[in-house]
Amino acid sequence: MSVSIKPNLVVSRPASDGATTHPEVVEGIILFLKEYGVNKINIIEGSWVGDSTKRAFKNCGYEELSRKYNIPLIDMKNDSCMTLKHGGYSIEICNEALNTDFLINAPVLKAHCQTGLTCCMKNLKGCISDAEKRRFHSLDIHRPVAALNVLLKTGYCVVDGICGDLSFEEGGNPVAANRVIAGQNPLTVDSYCAELIGYRPDEIEYLSYGRELDVGEYYSEKTEIVELNPQNKPIRETRSGRAADKYKGIIDEDAACSACFSSLIYALYRLDRKTYVNGEIHLGQGFKGKTGDGVGIGNCARGFAKCVVGCPPKATDIINALK
């Protein structure tokens, strides 16, 4: 069978900036596929209008990946397209994406200046022509993105949540979370990821439209969520970066895991004010068994007067608690 891997290389910037998929994530997918006897593998992408996919392949480390495993890099900007229709929309989709036997969607979990979230469903925009990308924005983007996900089926999603950008799809303000989220349905995965960065699924319009079009269902209490390697949760890097520096005056952190810390930063960014916080916010493994005033974030800080439980808690839960 043929498998195509679709990363997010929207711009030609390194993954450490928070905009593009780490080549190591895609390399892991390649190694998995080869172990199970899949050898017809392509990496497909079409960067956004105004940037070069070839430059992104080079600057983001994918040319080296291609040479190492002898895997073709397909620039969708040069591909022919087929027009498919659904729900009143006619969409030109690149043939490379349509003709593969199995499409693996490997987006970045990050914020977006227009849609709030960009993850699995919106990552498929890289599978349409530049002219179609422009038209999507003239059509208010949300409904055509939902329709695209009906017409172009994702086989599996592997989300790079290592250090997605806090506010902008071009990167530059990354927040280290050091996690990967994987699942079969792009809408279910996106609805889960939305809450990780502080949005209810219905706040992201293309998710609600996708549900109307039966792309999938939102994750719920009935959704089985399996956490792998819980004993190895990465401790946050000591260098906090611009995103966290803005709030360092109210955060008391001691050996916090990256995922817990990132949830707090996303929540504070969504609130964008400190008046919700009475005293310091405490988080990290160093607070296990300790008590005190103020707010605790995560199970390790459950001894404080108020606590948002979870390991880690979702950003939406932190937002609701701080409000």
Residues counted in the chain: 323
Cα gap 48→46, rounded to integer Å: 7
- The predicted structure's pLDDT at residue 205: 96
Query: Please, are residues 174 and 163 in contact by the beta-carbon 8 Å criterion?
Result: yes
How does pLDDT run across 207-253, given as a tens digit for each residue? 999 999 999 999 999 999 999 998 888 887 655 566 677 787 888 88
The yes-or-no verdict on residue 117 having pLDDT over 70 is: yes
Host H or E run for residue 261: helix 258-271
Give the SS3 label for residue 33: helix
Query: Mean pLDDT across the stretch 120-147?
Result: 91
pTM for the full predicted model: 0.91
Structural tokens at position 35: 């172990």
HSE of 245, CA atoms in CB hemisphere, 13 A: 6
**Residues 130-135: what's their mean pLDDT?**
89
pLDDT band at residue 98 using 50, 70 and 90 as cut-offs: very high
Structure-token pair, residue 180: 């990967």
DSSP state for residue 113 in the 8-state scheme: T
Question: What confidence category does residue 274 fall into, taking pLDDT thresholds of 50, 70 and 90?
Answer: low
The three-state secondary structure class of 28 is: helix
**Confidence bin at 52 (pLDDT 50/70/90):** very high
User: What percent of the chain shows pLDDT beyond 90?
Assistant: 73
Q: What is the pLDDT of residue 242?
A: 67
137, 159 in Cβ contact below 8 A? no
Residue range 59-65: mean pLDDT, rounded: 97
Q: What is the CATH number of domain 2-212?
A: 3.40.50.11440
Check: CB of residue 279 under 8 Å from CB of residue 301. no
Give yes or no for residue 302 having a pLDDT over 90: yes
The pLDDT value recorded for residue 243 is: 67
What pLDDT band is residue 19 in, cutting at 50, 70 and 90? very high
Residue 287: C-alpha distances to residues 99, 293, 295, 297 (Å): 53, 12, 12, 10
The beta-carbon contacts of 272-276 under 8 Å, at least 24 apart in sequence, are 274/247, 274/250, 276/322, 276/323
Count of Cβ atoms closer than 10 Å to residue 143 Cβ = 19
Q: Which residues pair with 18 in a beta bridge?
A: none
Q: Note the pLDDT tens digit of each residue in 166-223.
A: 887 888 889 999 999 999 999 999 999 999 999 999 999 999 999 999 999 999 999 9
| 8 pLDDT more than 70 | yes
Per domain, the residue ranges of the chain are 2-212, 234-322
